[in-house]
Structure 1
Amino acid sequence: MVAQLSDRTALVTGGSRGIGRAIAERLAAAGALVAVHYGSDDAAAKDTVAAIEAAGGQAFAIRVEFGTDGAVERLAAALAAGLRERTGSDRLDILVNNAAISESDGGIETETPAGFDRLFTVNVRTPFFLIQRLLPTMGAGGRIIDIGSAVTRIALPGELAYAMTKAAIATLGRNLANEVGARGITVNTVEPGPTRTDRTAFLFDRPEAAAMVSAGQAIERIGQPADIAAVVAFLATDDAGWITANTIDATGGSYLGPKRLRG
């Protein structure tokens, strides 16, 4: 991956923590100038940019809270200004739609209209219109990579509405790929499974919980943000230029079914 993305520019939404941070750091390590979008955690964003720069990469942070009025336009304006300042152009090569919320009011019996609408606003409406807004700045070789979730095939209690948003993202990717392929732009969706981040550490740092989840994996361990970042980084390269309209399972083989007995 070293220098494969030199002279490329990237935007990673939700890029200051967890999987988003790992993606931002991996793209920067490959030579891309990375705009790290975040919603509210100034310290996390500052730390992410500092870590990228300390490793020899280039990055800058953009604070915009998704779900608020004018969020897409504010992000696009700040991105254009940041890119022009550093490159002399507002050209964007790589867009990673990672930002999402998973907070839900429950399943079919308890989900509220307000909670449902917020999930779809942040997880579906915002990336849709962000793509619409930024497509004019992308040219041949452009990459759009959406972060979905394994919940589109694994039914988990209390995540019905969230799973619906991620299914919408996968549908967006397939259809959009057909529209922008003639421009040399690829669109793919990466679906992580159980992954340890600062938000899931409370669960996966418990040995009994980690062992239970790992037992349901083909590769018997909990995923790390770097596992997802590696897939995204590959899709951003020229080597992945013939891969589009795909939904890529990046779960380590989560919940594939019963395993053959050993012994």
Structure 2
Amino acid sequence: MEWLNFIIEPLSYPFMQRAIIVSVTTGFVCAVLSCFLVLKGWSLMGDAISHAVLPGIVLAYLGSIPIIIGAFASGFLCSLATGYIKENCRVKEDTVMGIVYSGMFAFGLVLFSKVDTEQHLNHILFGSVLGTTHSELIQILIIGIIVSVIVLTKRKDLMLFCFDPVQAKVVGLPVRLLHYGLLTFLALTIVASLQAVGVILVIAMLIAPGIIAFLLSKRFDRMLIIAVIVSIASCISGTLISYHFSASTSACIVLIQAVIFIFAQAYRLLVNHYQSEINRKAHL
């Protein structure tokens, strides 16, 4: 009965119901994208875009336009700038991202310190799941559903593009469209995740589910399923734990995913050791 009350009691409050829906929606779309980011080696890209949205948020406030528009425009334009610099410069992509997005984040911090906004910096950086309003819930649901449906529908094309762009181009896939399309979906997901986990902790939610699934599976479809299950389970349990222990919801979610990663890594090491022992005995 204690475990039942642990689950039922928080759900009796409307703000907790919204928090569960928001965290699960965010967790689902982040898990789906994380598989492609891990396969493509774009883990740093999620980190970069999440930091680049900050100046867009402040400028959107100054222009009296929806924050989501400013955040998306800032993140997407910076990703385009990164691609342009990479194609016309000898510097490697990870170095370009580090320079461009750290500069954008610093620019956003300067703007934020000079402009008196209604947004609290901690809410932008670390999120506020429990403070999600009805309008923000609808916004997150719309973005999450659109991104998830398109990515899952085109998952085979995106998988080939992430795994082998040259082969994808040979078979006639629009590689450039897939490239910028994936960047667009990533920027939209980060914007939708601002309210839930903030620009900092969204990095973990875009990496952890995919890498955990990568350790536990060898097929991409199974990898997607495992990533979604891990992400949703950690989002629900993290939200409930944060209610009972008065802790940060996003931090609890990420902490649970980190623990799952440790167990997944330990499991993979044991499996590899067992297989190596079998192979060694087979050669004796």
TM over 0.5, yes or no? no
Q: Which has the higher helix share?
A: 2
- Larger relative contact order (CA 8 Å, sep ≥ 6): 2
What is the TM-score with the length of structure 1 in the denominator?
A: 0.31
What is the TM-score with the length of structure 2 in the denominator?
A: 0.29
